[in-house]
Structure 1
Amino acid sequence: MAIRPLQILFVLFMLHPNYSNGSENWILEPTGNYEIPLDFPQLGGLSAINVHQSGKRFVTISDKGKYFIGNIERDNAETIIDIQIIESGSLLNSAGEHLSGRNTDSESLTTIDNQAFFISFESNHRIMFHESLQAPGTFLPKHTDFKKFSPNKGLEAIAVNSKGQIFAIPEEPPGEDVDFPLYKFNGETWSIFSRFPTSGSFLVTDSVFLPDGDILILERDYDWSVGFKMQLRLLHLNDHTITGQTALLSLNSGLHNHEGLSLWQNESKQFFITSISDNNFLPFVTSEIKEFKLQKTNINK
């Protein structure tokens, strides 16, 4: 049976974890890096990650329309020791067939109860709903802006807040626009919730909502002298607009092009942020996982 967009939104509202709202500000404390060994050649081109089960399980997708489910082994400090892939496969189109051609470029995912997923795609710019990673996709409607995206600079970031509302951000402003749009889906159509300025030549690569309802943006830049650079920028939101922004992190990541972002809690309810890099399938470049402890500063916005 086909699922209508409003049904999707209802399921999302009922199942998505409801973190408490507030007005906390945050700081990030690095907890470690892990480089996926080169003897995992299938784990290339990674564009998104979801970490769950208290940091012990992950889902990642590649920009070739592939998904991977794995286990994470950690030490007592929550630092990654090892990963194991337990399942992999191809994402499916609405007819239940493997993706092909310009339909394969999966870029971001957000999850409902770690079972159902919204996945965004470039080239053929769209967002699909999958009841599971093994299930056919269902098309969500498109905003008219989607036609303005460059072929390789489309919907890089999708995220769901504690109210079950879906938001999306493109890699760069569409067309002749100067600022980034923050799109919001109401169950039937997309609207532009608000806009926010670019940060130099940084491009958006992913986003995730924090427990207080603000949205954390992962951005990437490239400099020939130092390689890739990554930054994490926090957008402060109310019910109607973006009210401000805070730069949380900026660092050089060298060979590692970080594209995926996830928020998770360990068994002690401590929040962590995980990012993952896209090695562009280069055989001499590893895929890197960076992790940070997310700490409250207890300073009002």
Structure 2
Amino acid sequence: MSAFFSKFIRTAAAGLAAAVLSFSAPVSAESLLDEAKQVRVKTRPIETFHIGHSNTEFGKLTFLGGFEILASDRKTGGLSGVISLDDGNRLLAVTDNGHWVAATVEQTDEGAPTGLSDLRYAVLLGADGKSLRARWGHDTEALTLNATGLYVSAERNHAVYHYEWPLLTGDERMLGQLSLPKALDRLPRNTGIEALAAGPAGGLLDGKLIAISETTPSDEHDFLGFILGSDGAEEFSIKRHDRFDVTDAAFLPDGDLLLMERRFNMKDLIGLRLRRLPGSDLKAGAALDGEILLEADFNYQIDNMEALAVHQNAAGDTILTLLSDNNRSLLQRTLLLRFRLNEQ
């Protein structure tokens, strides 16, 4: 989350007081976070994406539906990274204050979300069994999964944590941390790795992670990206446009990278953008730009959109799940939105 966005929300709250994996996981998630704390949850449906309009087609995307998540415990707010499991029936998310959040997504055969149940959360633990919060390593922003386990990024101290999979109880300790490149030291502590995506199995990036910085000093600078692997790190860049910042990324079935961006400032107000980057171009030294699939502003049902997951349903459709980070604020909403990508 950008420092400006956080400051704006705190200011607005004071004024008021005075006047969200790239693919479905290859294992079952039926017992996910089995011993975690359960939370009461309700949902409020979102029937149209474009406020006041009934259209569902937005370029290559079809809006399937969504809802606002109303949970009884604020610790399940602040959703910043997500993976979609079991053909979209389950999700695992991470919050920006160091919690796992799991839930069942009730959906139609098409993938349209109709409700949420079995919501539960647990604290992310370090290798010593203490919470990440105990060592100020809890500013967790992104989540991804590959054959070697779960990976979570933290932007405050530029870290990528490794956890085993599956998370059967929620009490699993961190396995370790990845060695990260010195180039990350060029980024401010609160604008580090905001997007993390596991390379597609069987492809050139199999076994590697793609990590992307949240922002840049200005639109004249590019986003900093890294290809992280056991053989070290390679750097690439992504062109920044129109004061948007990066919030998440996930690979599409064809190997392209889907980038989610958010904008929030006094000039532009709130915005969401989805950009598709050619996976074949993702290599050391590359300068990427890509195709805009979706752009939305305050006229659409969005909030502080931070988490993105991609899965394929039983029919082979590519489904996008977007979550918003409400900063645990009464002025914001936790939204779950679903879209179908109609052209690969």
Same-fold call, TM > 0.5? yes
2:140 aligned to which of 106, 120, 134: 106
2:280 aligned to which of 209, 213, 238: 238
Aligned residues of 1:227 and 1:255 also touching (Cα < 8 A): no
Q: How much has 1:284 moved relative to structure 2?
A: 4.3
2:329 aligned with 1:291: no
Partner of 2:295: 250
Partner of 1:222: 264
Partner of 2:185: 147
- Letter matched to residue 211 of structure 2: A
Structure 1 CA distance for aligned equivalents of residues 249 and 179 of structure 2: 21
| RMSD, aligned α-carbons | 2.6
2:75 aligned to which of 42, 56, 65: 42
Q: How much has 1:272 moved relative to structure 2?
A: 0.3
Partner of 2:253: 211
Change beyond 3 A, Cα 1:70–1:38: closer
Q: How much has 1:285 moved relative to structure 2?
A: 2.7
Aligned to 1:36, what secondary structure does the other structure show? strand
Structure 1 CA distance for aligned equivalents of residues 334 and 219 of structure 2: 34
Q: How much has 1:40 moved relative to structure 2?
A: 4.7
Q: How much has 1:213 moved relative to structure 2?
A: 1.4
Please give the residue correspondences for 1:110-149 in structure 2 after superposition, counting only pairs within 5 Å.
110-112=144-146, 116-132=149-165, 133=167, 134-137=171-174, 138-149=176-187
Aligned residues of 1:220 and 1:231 also touching (Cα < 8 A): yes
Q: How much has 1:224 moved relative to structure 2?
A: 3.6
2:208 aligned to which of 155, 165, 187: 165
Q: How much has 1:173 moved relative to structure 2?
A: 3.3
Change beyond 3 A, Cα 1:209–1:221: same
Change beyond 3 A, Cα 1:174–1:213: farther
Please give the residue correspondences for 1:154-193 in structure 2 after superposition, counting only pairs within 5 Å.
154-162=192-200, 163-173=206-216, 178-192=221-235
Aligned residues of 2:245 and 2:261 also touching (Cα < 8 A): yes
Q: How much has 1:174 moved relative to structure 2?
A: 7.3
Q: Which has the larger share of strand?
A: 1
Aligned residues of 2:305 and 2:325 also touching (Cα < 8 A): yes
Cα deviation 1:59-91 (Å, max 9, x = unaligned) = 011111001111111134422121123542100
Change beyond 3 A, Cα 1:107–1:69: same
Structure 2 CA distance for aligned equivalents of residues 283 and 58 of structure 1: 24
Change beyond 3 A, Cα 1:60–1:198: same
Change beyond 3 A, Cα 1:40–1:84: farther
- Following TM superposition, where does structure 1 have runs of at least 4 consecutive aligned residues deviating by more than 6 angstroms? 174-177
Partner of 1:22: none
Cα deviation 1:106-139 (Å, max 9, x = unaligned) = 10000126x9310000111100110144422211
Aligned to 2:207, what secondary structure does the other structure show? coil
Q: How much has 1:238 moved relative to structure 2?
A: 1.9
Structure 1 CA distance for aligned equivalents of residues 266 and 153 of structure 2: 29
Structure 2 CA distance for aligned equivalents of residues 285 and 16 of structure 1: 30
Cα deviation 1:29-79 (Å, max 9, x = unaligned) = 211121102545332111011111011000011111001111111134422
Aligned residues of 2:219 and 2:240 also touching (Cα < 8 A): no
Aligned to 1:256, what secondary structure does the other structure show? coil
Structure 2 CA distance for aligned equivalents of residues 16 and 39 of structure 1: 28
Change beyond 3 A, Cα 1:177–1:144: farther
2:121 aligned with 1:88: yes
Q: How much has 1:142 moved relative to structure 2?
A: 1.3
- Unaligned stretches of 5+ in structure 1? 1-14, 18-25
Range 60-69 or range 284-293, more displaced: 284-293
